């Protein structure tokens, strides 16, 4: 207890003795502010549970998600051994939802790594260099923004071919423009700042200024936008899976499960409803988490 009290006092001090202590103190203050938001904590709890379910899928799934038992087709909710029922091929819906969480996290993680990085590079280069570079890059960004994301993703997948990797690439190609806009706006407010001028006088080139001094100041805005965009990414991936252009059968992807269950929606509603509820829950969790992070990380927001 004494050690914890001492650590808390060390983190809450108004006079940090090193840059590392100042950074840890800033993170701790952010965590305290985040923790005061119950809905954000609820979203975080759901996402932690999702990570645990995906990591422990082989141990907690009651059945093999690919095993077919045609004698147990379309069993209702509460069936012994199948608490969420079975689909048209007798596969356990709960097991497929558990394994499908891995696919959802796989898609979200890859898109969250590709799209914001591409947008950050385009936006900061455009905002810092200006001139014809800014004109060309922003017009390309406008072209991408002119099309609805799902429609553009469908076009890319049609060109690349069906498959989960191509779906990830298509979603990432349609998701980067908003990040580029945010990064450009941040860069335009920073490029003429006094500290940037001082760094330039010390001989720093554009690459060093962008990567070492502008990028770190754009990260917080991008983190908030990424978290809020996760719901849209999940829905886009589910939409591609629903249309048969994402993860291919018999992969237990939630959108594909809804597509398979739509044929029985009137008589056997649980086949499509259960994966739909999973998509809704995870999307809601990301939105709640994003709202909480925006309150903490947005320097222009109210604390």
Residue ranges per structural domain of the chain: 37-63+85-297
DSSP H helical ranges for the chain: 2-12, 19-35, 38-55, 57-60, 93-129, 131-145, 149-160, 164-190, 194-201, 206-209, 215-242, 254-261, 270-297
**What separation in angstroms does the CA of 214 have from each of 120, 122, 206?**
10, 13, 10
Query: Of 303 and 174, which is predicted with more confidence?
Result: 174
CB 131 within 8 A of CB 191: no
Six-digit token pair at 266?
A: 């009137």
Assess whether pLDDT exceeds 50 at residue 285: yes
Six-digit token pair at 137?
A: 């890059």
Which of 101-105, 179-183, 191-195, 253-257 bottoms out in mean pLDDT, i.e. has the lowest?
Answer: 191-195
- Distance (Å, whole) CA 249 – CA 46: 27
What number does CATH give the domain 37-63+85-297?
Answer: 1.10.3720.10
- pLDDT tens digits for 80-97? 888 998 888 889 999 999
- Distance (Å, whole) CA 283 – CA 271: 20
Cα-based torsion angle of the residue sequence 179, 180, 183, 187 in order, rounded to the nearest 10 degrees: -170
- Distance (Å, whole) CA 259 – CA 271: 10
């Amino acid at each position: 207890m004494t050690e914890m009290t001492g650590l808390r006092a060390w983190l809450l001090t108004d006079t940090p003795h090193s840059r590392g202590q100042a950074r840890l103190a800033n993170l701790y203050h952010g965590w305290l502010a985040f923790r005061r938001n119950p809905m954000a904590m609820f979203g975080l709890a759901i996402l932690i549970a999702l990570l645990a379910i995906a990591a422990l899928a082989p141990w907690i799934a009651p059945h093999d998600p690919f095993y077919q038992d045609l004698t147990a087709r379309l069993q209702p909710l509460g069936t012994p051994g199948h608490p969420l029922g079975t689909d048209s091929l007798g596969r356990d819906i709960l097991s497929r939802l558990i394994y499908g969480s891995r696919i959802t996290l796989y898609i979200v993680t890859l898109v969250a790594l590709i799209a914001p990085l591409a947008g950050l590079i385009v936006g900061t280069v455009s905002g810092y260099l200006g001139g014809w570079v800014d004109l060309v890059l922003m017009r390309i960004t406008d072209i991408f923004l002119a099309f609805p994301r799902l429609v553009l993703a469908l076009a890319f997948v049609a060109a690349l071919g069906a498959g989960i990797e191509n779906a990830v690439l298509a979603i990432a190609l349609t998701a980067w423009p908003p990040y580029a806009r945010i990064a450009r706006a941040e860069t335009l407010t920073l490029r003429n700042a006094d500290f940037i001028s001082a760094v330039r006088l010390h001989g720093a080139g554009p690459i060093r200024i962008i990567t070492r001094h502008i990028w770190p100041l754009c990260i917080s805005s991008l983190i908030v936008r990424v978290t809020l965009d996760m719901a849209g990414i999940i829905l886009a991936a589910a939409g591609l899976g629903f249309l048969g252009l994402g993860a291919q059968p018999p992969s237990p992807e939630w959108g594909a499960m809804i597509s398979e269950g739509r044929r029985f929606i009137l008589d056997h509603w649980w086949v499509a409803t259960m994966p739909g509820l999973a998509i809704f829950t995870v999307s809601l969790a990301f939105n709640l988490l994003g709202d909480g992070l925006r309150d903490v990380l947005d320097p222009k927001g109210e604390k």
